Amino acid sequence: MLKMMGRLCFAHKTALAPMVRVGTLPMRLLALDYGADIVYCEVRMDIYTHTCHISVHLNPMHVLETVDFVAPDERVMFRTCSKEKGRVVFQMGTADPERALVVAKLVENDVAAVDVNMGCPKEYSTKGGMGSALLSDPEKIEAILSTLVNGISKPVTCKIRILPTLEDTVNLVKRIEKTGVAAIAVHGRMKEERPRHPVHCDYIQAVAESVSIPVIANGGSSDIVKTFEDIEKFRAAAGASSVMLARAAMWNPSIFRQQGALSVDEVMEDYIRYAVRYDNNPFNTKYCLCQMLRDRVESPFGKRLHAAQTNEEICEVFGMTDFYNKTKAELEARKAALQTNGDQTEQPKHEDDLITMPVRFERRDYPPQITPKMYLLEWSRKEKLDQPVYETEQRTQDRAFQSTVIIDSKKYRSALWEKSKKFAEQAAAIVCLRTLGLPEGRIGEEHSGLVNKRKRDDKKCAALDDSESAARKRHTSEVPQEEEEEMICRTKVVNGVCGQTTG
């Protein structure tokens, strides 16, 4: 059984190793399909991840049905889904126990375990005291792992490289075991060594004999593992409980198939299906496909792939345009259903004089120069009410924003935090408009006439070039920016030392 008493078990398993730019959601799901028991995400640095907010997309109506951990600049730092829940391990790079705990608490409900990278020899890790730099600081290793073990409910593991002497390696691993970690992965090379150097199975075996927790052998892709049967050979040679594969799986993740590996061409098509289905970054998609192509990357086919800039263009290279169009149509239909039924699935919650809903402002869902704030302003004028007042708070820990709009003596707020003050105000306006059953200006929404096109003076109109004029004619409604800015806004910093009011 994969789990023991609800916790991920690391004994007698095969795992997809954490690999930068490779261990994203499509590759992890593909490895699981082919037979991997456990999959690790690419290493995520705590300094970038601790400020993420969680975007939960598990509603069946949602386009992707994923859980996204999104940085303040809106980059998706980690994306997961229900298909891998219970088998995905989140690996972080850290040199700070408290910050590591913040990240671990952020992700623990959506992953099976948390792993600390203590083996990466790359400068981007070691210069911050992370990765293999931790190997020379056992006290910090103990502090990080003990803090995590005591601070979260999920298993904690770590991945190390071996030290210059066998004695030092064994002594370090014994100290690590005392922190309470559930398993330890050992890359059988020293931090100065590279894949061309032979893997030291004797070191891994000595480690496995010195501790009682599962040891996961790593580093055998070049020397030993070429087929599925070789996985067991590596495990036996290293005397380990489990095996973790990096490059062998990167080149062809179907190496996990007990029935034998598939052709790389078939695997690449399977990978593309997941990449399109989960809206994977096209440059990440292309990178992973190029790793599978290996020596064919300079072929005419490889050059066509390298020139592709979008997932659609990648599908064209592989003759999968029909699949792409069908999948995108399904996603768009799901998105349209979500927009149509959004008011029914997200009912407003009343708390005293405050009404909240978990909504987010997505700029791409609205035509240029049309926003929910404009619609709310025009409605208030039509009803002869005081103009909306926005009170905005900013969190100090991640600089995210949350706004409350006050109109007709009632308060409306989104339960979610936004990356900017403007987006937070738009989200509050959406809550108000949806609660009142009013239009908000979304693309595809029937035109209400609430926001009317205003005349520009002849001098300004004459200054518009032809292309700008044509673009403006495509929109049936428009409010000048200065009128949108009429609305009263107040901002304060949550847990901060000062407030700011603007009018």
Residues annotated catalytic, as ranges: 120
Tokens of 182: 């559930």
Per DSSP, the residues of 184-225 read EEEESS-TT--TTSPP-HHHHHHHHHH-SS-EEEE--TTTT-
Sign for the CA dihedral angle at 157, 162, 163, 169 comes to positive
Phi first, then psi: what are they for 125, rounded to 5°? -90, -50
Sign for the CA dihedral angle at 15, 247, 115, 48 comes to negative
Q: Among residues 43, 165, 63, which one has the least CA distance to residue 114?
A: 43
Tokens of 329: 């149509």
Please report, as a single letter, which amino acid is at residue 295: D
Phi first, then psi: what are they for 232, rounded to 5°? -70, -35
Own/partner pairs, 57-63, CB within 8 angstroms, 24+ separation: 58/82, 59/338, 59/345, 61/334, 61/337, 61/338, 61/341, 61/345, 62/334, 62/338, 63/279, 63/331, 63/334, 63/335, 63/338
